[in-house]
Amino acid sequence: GPNDSYFVWKKNGQKMKACIMEQSHMLLDGRVHVLSWVKDSVSENTEYTCSFISKVGNTTSEVLITVEDKGSDGQDRWTKEFDTWRSAISEHDKMMQNWRKTW
């Protein structure tokens, strides 16, 4: 996005200031590649809203995290999904580090 881009995170309608992680990398054409995520834990149903703000426009995404007691089978499935997500973030981080080394 444009170099003035930034994120606004909300948890259950309240603006978040903690737990927000971001990576940004300036591109040669003046745009910025920005990745943002939240490191948080929940024990009850929680709605997250992520808004991407810039001078050329805004967009918002929402997700509702539903907490359910599924027993060990549900825990195993969640662990596998979390490991997949963590692996994707790690691969993205490696890719961006390699990109920085080449520029």
Domain that holds residue 82: 69-102
- Looking at the structure of the chain, the number of domains it has is 2
Of 53, 49, 37, 43, the C-alpha closest to 86 is: 37
Q: What is the pLDDT of residues 33-92, one digit of tens each?
A: 888 888 888 888 999 999 999 888 899 999 998 887 655 555 566 677 777 877 878 887
Q: How far apart are CA 71 and CA 75, in angstroms?
A: 6
Do 11 and 51 share a domain, yes or no?
yes
Identify the CATH number of the domain in which residue 40 sits: 2.60.40.10
Do 2 and 26 share a domain, yes or no?
yes
pTM of the model: 0.61
